[in-house]
């Protein structure tokens, strides 16, 4: 199994996650104006009932292992921004795991800020990869944050994979909130709007 | 969502099957995309003789005046290309296919060559190094062919042996060699045609 094969798998996964996240964002926007979209969003959110923590944990572990694969197996050297994103992602794979086994829903308050900060770092890192000429006139061989180690389908790089991972963690935790779970009958049909 | 029964049990999507389905789709797509990607040979087996130059640092370059190492390698079609002390001044440019500054510089240098700016007594060589199949604009030979790159190219190996021998630290990396085989200058980054001309003229005039 070559680095190219693994990267292709991660890139396809990133595209699928990205498509899902964009669909969710559009659905949420539509739900603000359309009852029908709101009903669909409610059904989507209900599908995540009780699964949010587990899915977020699986995502964090997958991202962590992917990151370690790139540095330890493929020998890609993490640049400065890679490290900041690792600082935001790696703890999630541990604390979400503990929360899953303890069924500790309050972990959201700790996980969401980390994931949002990590997503912001990924976004900035991806932008400087897209516009590397903003930096100096030569490509360093040492730790270039501006040049992508992986560039699949002409747009998927490692920080984009990280962004999709952080985005997925945020999305599944917001979709599966304890407050929106049972007793479902007591919930007003309109309360879903604050879910995203 | 008007009846109580629908509120108590809202419609659900089969999430777990969807997730497993997505993973399966990703696997299948990966297998299709990587099954027969062909074996593009982007690496060579160059042999370096002589002492390697120290990595280029800030300040005075200690490698200036040192004998440049010799390289016996091949281009992408397997023809021998040799950089050795043949009594002629030479300029060597080390390129990485994924580096946007190299991508900018290649057409600039090619236009400079096409304009006949290279003095008759000076040779130009290039080295395709830093090559990685996961990175942008791979393989390097496709890129250089697209740009109509005419200088001889040595394909570096996966350990970047040639790059290390010249003390490569950033792309594009330039090594200017005097007629006596000593290093005249090393530098990194995009050079303008005027600067290239100036350095090469200084090689000719000794």
Name the minimum distance, in Å, from the CA of B40 to any CA of chain A: 13
Alpha helix ranges (H) inside A32-157: 35-47, 52-68, 80-102, 108-130
Return the residue in B93, B100, B134, B169 with the most chain A beta carbons within 10 A, the one to mutate for interface testing. Answer: B134
| Cβ <8 Å between B11 and A43 | yes
pLDDT at B205: 82
Judge whether B35 and B131 are in contact, CB under 8 Å.
no
Per-residue pLDDT at A79: 86
Q: How much is the pLDDT for A134? A: 55
Cβ-based contacts of A8 with chain B (< 8 Å): 29-30, 33-34
pLDDT in tens, B131-147: 888 788 889 999 999 99
Residue B11: predicted pLDDT: 78
pLDDT for B168-197, tens place per residue?
988 999 999 999 999 999 999 999 999 999
Average pLDDT, 10 consecutive residues per value, chain B (206 residues):
49 87 92 73 91 89 94 94 94 92 94 94 94 85 95 93 93 94 94 94 84
Measured in residues, chain B has a length of 206
- pLDDT at residue B9, as a whole number: 61
Residue A156 carries which DSSP code? Answer: B
A-facing residues of B in 15-34 (CB < 8 A) are: 15-16, 19, 22-23, 25-27, 29-30, 33-34
pLDDT 10s digits, A40-61: 999 999 889 889 999 999 999 9
The stretches in chain A having pLDDT less than 50 are: 183-196
From A13's Cα to the closest Cα of chain B, the distance in A is 6
Contact status of A7 with chain B (Cβ, < 8 Å): yes
Coarse DSSP helix, strand, coil percentages of chain A, rounded to the nearest 5 percent = 75, 0, 25
Q: Which of residues 101-120 of B touch A (CB under 8 A)?
A: 101-102
Q: Which residues of A touch B134 (CB under 8 A)?
A: 3-4, 7, 74, 149-152
- A133 vs B contacts (CB less than 8 Å): 100
How many CB pairs lie under 8 A apart between chains A and B? Answer: 109
Which one of B19, B30, B98 has the shortest CB-CB distance to A12? B30
Q: Which residues of A touch B169 (CB under 8 A)?
A: 140-142
E strands in B28-152: 47-49, 70-74, 80-83, 90-95, 123-128
Q: Which chain A residue has its CA at the smallest distance from B160's CA?
A: A141
Gap between the Cα atoms of A125 and A130, Å rounded? 9
- pLDDT value for A132: 64
Question: What's the rounded Cα separation, in Å, for the pair A72 and A58?
Answer: 20
């Amino acid at each position: 199994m070559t680095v190219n094969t693994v990267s292709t798998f991660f890139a396809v996964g990133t595209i699928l996650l990205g498509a899902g996240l964009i669909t969710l964002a559009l659905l949420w926007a539509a739900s603000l104006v359309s009852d029908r979209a709101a009903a669909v969003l409610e059904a989507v959110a209900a599908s995540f009932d009780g699964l949010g923590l587990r899915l977020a944990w699986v995502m964090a572990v997958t991202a962590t292992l992917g990151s370690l694969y790139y540095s330890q197996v493929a020998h890609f050297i993490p640049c400065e921004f890679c490290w900041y994103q690792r600082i935001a992602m790696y703890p999630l794979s541990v604390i979400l795991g503990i929360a899953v086994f303890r069924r500790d829903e309050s972990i959201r308050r700790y996980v969401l800020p980390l994931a949002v900060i990590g997503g912001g770092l990924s976004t900035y890192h991806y932008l400087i990869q897209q516009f590397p000429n903003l930096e100096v006139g030569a490509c360093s061989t040492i730790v270039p944050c501006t040049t992508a180690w992986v560039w699949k389908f002409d747009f998927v790089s490692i920080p984009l994979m990280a962004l999709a991972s952080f985005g997925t963690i945020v999305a599944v935790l917001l979709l599966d909130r304890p407050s929106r779970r049972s007793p479902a009958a007591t919930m007003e049909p309109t309360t879903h709007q604050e879910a995203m | 969502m008007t009846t109580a029964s629908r509120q108590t049990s809202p419609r659900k999507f089969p999430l777990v099957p969807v997730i497993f389905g997505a993973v399966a789709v990703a696997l299948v797509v990966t297998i299709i995309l990587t099954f027969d990607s062909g074996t593009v040979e982007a690496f060579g087996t160059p042999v370096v003789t002589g002492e390697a130059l120290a990595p280029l640092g800030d300040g005075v370059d200690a490698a200036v005046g040192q004998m440049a190492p010799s390289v016996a390698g091949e281009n992408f079609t397997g023809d021998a290309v040799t950089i050795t002390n043949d009594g002629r001044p030479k300029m060597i440019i080390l390129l990485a296919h994924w580096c946007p500054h190299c991508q900018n510089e290649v057409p600039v240098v090619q236009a400079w060559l096409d304009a006949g700016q290279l003095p008759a007594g000076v040779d130009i060589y290039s080295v395709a190094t830093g090559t990685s199949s996961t990175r942008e604009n791979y393989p390097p030979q496709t890129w250089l062919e697209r740009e109509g790159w005419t200088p001889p190219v040595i394909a570096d190996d996966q350990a970047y042996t040639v790059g290390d021998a010249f003390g490569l630290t950033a792309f594009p990396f330039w090594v200017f060699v005097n007629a006596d085989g000593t290093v005249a200058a090393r530098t990194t980054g995009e050079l303008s045609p005027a600067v290239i001309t100036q350095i090469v003229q200084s090689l000719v005039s000794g």
